[in-house]
Structure 1
Amino acid sequence: MSDVLSALLSPITNAVAVVLAATHDVAGAVGLSPGSAGAWLLAVLLLVVAVRTVLLPVTIHGVRSSHARAHAAPQLRELRQRYAGNRDLEQLAAMRAEQKAIHAEHGVSGWSLAPALLQLPLFYALYRVVADLTAGHAVGALDAGLVASASAASMAGLHLTSHLGPTLGSDLPAGLVLLAAAGGAALLSLLTQRWFVLPMTNVADLPEGMATVQRFVPWIGAIGVLVAAAVVPAGLIAYWLFNNAWTFAQQGLVWRFAPTPGSPAAARREAAAALEGAVS
């Protein structure tokens, strides 16, 4: 299954590899030694910035779609209550017609989640390229020479191919640096979910069990990062740190300026606006 997925996504993976090779050239152009860990870390950072910038229109579409669904939610809730327990085919057809009309009124599309799902192949390709590079595997434009360069690059006793356990055992200071990077990636994941994602989620429409699970998601994600950090190379930990930092900043902006209507974050923003209006 993994081989089939890799084959299907190979064009995207190769495109991401081209971008990483280009960002490595940029790192060399700004004065960093092409074989240094600094050049490769900057290349990975620029790769994350490039990919996440390309995905910004999809992110904006997702925010607008979540707003549309939130605006439609009260009417849809009332509709479900009105037809609850009804098994009459004509009545069910009428309910579907009303539901369709509500969706049309608020601009809710049946394909509203499709653009967000389209991000997944690109995220997979981004992960795959960094994973292959730090595992010493050539991929697309990242030929054997570039892979050897990345593998040999070292900073503070760390290589992009270093692993947490062996590094802690052989070089404690370097291991602690790597552990701090993993902890930073996990903390960013946790804070993004707790500070920005959960407050923009209206749990009133969720079953009690699902709402409870939702509250544990931030911890599950953070623990998952720490567990995975024990087995993946340092290059991937750096990628997670950069990518999670982008997500933290991006979700913070959405939370601040465009919270989901009806959510606690939206209520906070409305209260702040009312207080500001009263003061002025």
Structure 2
Amino acid sequence: MSLLDPISHALAAVVATAHTGLTSLGADPGAGTTWVLCVAAVVVTVRLALLPLAVQGVRLAHASARARPHLKELTARYKGKRDPDSLRALAEERKRISAEHGVPRLGCLPLLLQLPVWISMYHLVSDVAGGSPVGAMDAGLVASFGAASLVGVPLAERGYLGGGSGHLAVVVVLVVLAGGLSFVTQRFLVLPNTLSADLPEAMASAQQVMPLLSALGMAVAAAVVPAALLVYWVLNATWTMGQSAVVWRYFPTPGSPADVRRVAREERAGRAGRLSPGA
């Protein structure tokens, strides 16, 4: 038994419940669209459950941005000092500044807590696509899923090939959508909302190529994962883009390019308000 089995079983329960609900409303239990909607139900349920972690991540970014200039000044003040007393004082000052600005010690915890969910979703789809029941996804539902198809492509089918040119075209479209959404989100919403001015050149360069590497990674993984998981990636990437757009526009990291745009936007709106008739 895997440590991730409870999460996989919880996700399976969401899929089974969504399938039962849809079929009770008249949906075809074996149709590909019904199963795609079940996958969408998983995305919505999981992302709503993880929303508090996303909010915590935004708060962490803001707290880190507020503390950054003070930590930078502190590092400059203790530059070259390697004696035990100075190192101890530096550590204490860092701790004080972080606590003062609300920076948690386990800053990466929100992201780490999401990883088991993503891995469990992969195992759930892979097991079901392979014909193995998982929790509430019993043999009958697994068989129904295995027979379902999307635009002629079986949701349980893996890879680019196997069903002719039509299969290849559908898989490529799903990969392009998932990879494209991920690239646009990272390049135009996440990076502009990230402080990178003081980062080492190598790290800043790595941040610039990460969106492309993420998209290419999806293209490579698509050769071995079921088509249903590609659907999940597209839907999940769509949610991520929308969520990132809200953060980028309304809650940008202080000092980031996105925050500069927000300030400029508010200043333009303020000037327009003052110049408008009757203002």
Same fold, judged at TM 0.5 (above): yes
Contact 1:130 1:239 in 2 (8 A): no
The equivalent residue for 1:166 is 161
Name structure 2 gaps, 5 residues minimum: 274-279
Cα distance, 1:164 vs. partner?
4.2
From 205, 210, 231, the equivalent of 2:198 is: 205
Task: Normalising by structure 1, report the TM-score.
Answer: 0.93
From 88, 112, 120, the equivalent of 2:115 is: 120
For 2:206 and 2:68, locate their aligned partners in 1 and report how far apart those are by CA, in whole Å. 21
For 2:126 and 2:18, locate their aligned partners in 1 and report how far apart those are by CA, in whole Å. 17
For 1:72 and 1:29, locate their aligned partners in 2 and report how far apart those are by CA, in whole Å. 53
For 2:111 and 2:193, locate their aligned partners in 1 and report how far apart those are by CA, in whole Å. 17
RMSD: 1.4
Task: Normalising by structure 2, report the TM-score.
Answer: 0.93
The equivalent residue for 2:19 is 24
The amino acid that maps onto 1:120 is L
For 1:157 and 1:49, locate their aligned partners in 2 and report how far apart those are by CA, in whole Å. 25
Contact 1:134 1:236 in 2 (8 A): no
Contact 1:58 1:115 in 2 (8 A): yes
From 234, 245, 249, the equivalent of 1:252 is: 245
Matches within 5 A, 1:1-280: 7-167=2-162, 170-280=163-273
Between structures 1 and 2, the one with greater helix share:
1
Contact 2:177 2:234 in 1 (8 A): yes
For 1:107 and 1:65, locate their aligned partners in 2 and report how far apart those are by CA, in whole Å. 8
CA deviation profile, 1:58-106 (whole Å, cap 9, x unmatched): 1101110110011000000111111111112112221122111211211
Q: SS of the residue aligned with 1:243?
A: helix
Q: SS of the residue aligned with 1:123?
A: helix
Cα distance, 1:178 vs. partner?
2.4
For 1:174 and 1:195, locate their aligned partners in 2 and report how far apart those are by CA, in whole Å. 31
For 1:84 and 1:30, locate their aligned partners in 2 and report how far apart those are by CA, in whole Å. 68
Contact 1:201 1:263 in 2 (8 A): yes
Q: SS of the residue aligned with 1:99?
A: helix
Cα distance, 1:239 vs. partner?
0.8
Number of residue pairs matched by the alignment: 273
For 1:164 and 1:135, locate their aligned partners in 2 and report how far apart those are by CA, in whole Å. 14
More deviation in 22-31 or 251-260? 22-31
For 1:131 and 1:263, locate their aligned partners in 2 and report how far apart those are by CA, in whole Å. 40
